[in-house]
Amino acid sequence: MEREKKESILKAAAHAFTRFGLKKASVDDIAREAGVAKGTIYLACESKEDLFYQVVNRELRAWIGECGGSIDQRVPADQLMETLVMASIAFLDARPLVRDLLIGLHDDLMPKWRDRLAELRSLGRANIVELLKLGIKQGRFRDDLEVEHVAELLQDLHLGTYLFRHQKLREDPTEAMKRLRAGMDLVLNGLRAPHARTGTRASS
């Protein structure tokens, strides 16, 4: 299939799935918006579920690319963390298919695809992994970090903040920045006082 035609189908499908969801989106409507025959859709995919997966994959890679553009190797990684989180939040607002992938909603829609969706979620941590490795290289982060596990934890914290504070973040951007910076301070510096980080305790 011609690349241009495939791209038109994926764009039309992304619009339909975002607006109506997987179950209610119509292949007929996708074909009509893409300007192709319905049969052509099935030359691009094996099923509607496969088309949905391809769309989510495409949206996710766009998210990784757009947010990854904020990672400047010349800037300290701990400073870049805030920039990356804000870029991610803005993108998730605009791309609900990626947001729903990351929080696991697609798993219930397509239980047979759970393993492949989990692989996409892992791929979604690519920018965090890159940032952590940059911080280690720069000497800004500990060199004994288990990068993949830390990236997964940071992604969970990011999504948790997004989900539970989303409306407030929209209503009051100033408060959003305060919360973001408090969260970044906690992640980067931890809760322990300097003497406690060496394993000693203050005298009672």
* Pick from 73, 177, 68, 52: nearest CA to 134: 73
Cα angle for residues 159, 162, 168 (degrees, 5° grid): 165
State the total domains in the chain.
2
Residue-wise burial string across 53-62, b where 16 or more C-beta atoms lie within 10 A, e elsewhere: bbbbbbbbee
Same domain, 81 and 176: yes
- Indicate whether 30 and 55 sit together in one domain: no
Residue 95 has pLDDT above 90, yes or no: no
- Residue 195 forms part of a structural domain: no
Residue 38 near residue 28 (C-beta atoms within 8 A): yes
54-64 residue pLDDT tens: 999 999 999 99
Question: Residues 96, 161: one domain?
Answer: yes
The per-residue pLDDT for 166 is 60
The band of 176, judged by pLDDT with boundaries at 50, 70 and 90, is low
- What value does the mean pLDDT take over residues 143-165? 83
Cβ neighbours, 10 Å, residue 140: 16
- Average pLDDT of the segment spanning 80-100: 84
Q: What is the pLDDT at residue 167?
A: 59
CATH number at 28 reads 1.10.10.60
H or E, element range at 178: helix 173-189
Torsional class of 116: left (φ above 0), alpha (ψ -120 to 50), beta (otherwise): alpha
Instruction: Note whether 111 and 25 are same-domain residues.
Output: no
d(CA 125, CA 121): 7
| Of the candidate ranges 58-67, 96-105, 141-150, 171-180, the one whose mean pLDDT is the lowest | 171-180
Three-state DSSP at 2 gives: coil
Confidence band, pLDDT 50/70/90 cuts, at residue 160: confident
- Indicate whether 20 and 104 sit together in one domain: no
Say yes or no to pLDDT of 198 above 70.
no
* Containing structural domain, residue 15: 1-44
Token reading at 180: 């973001």
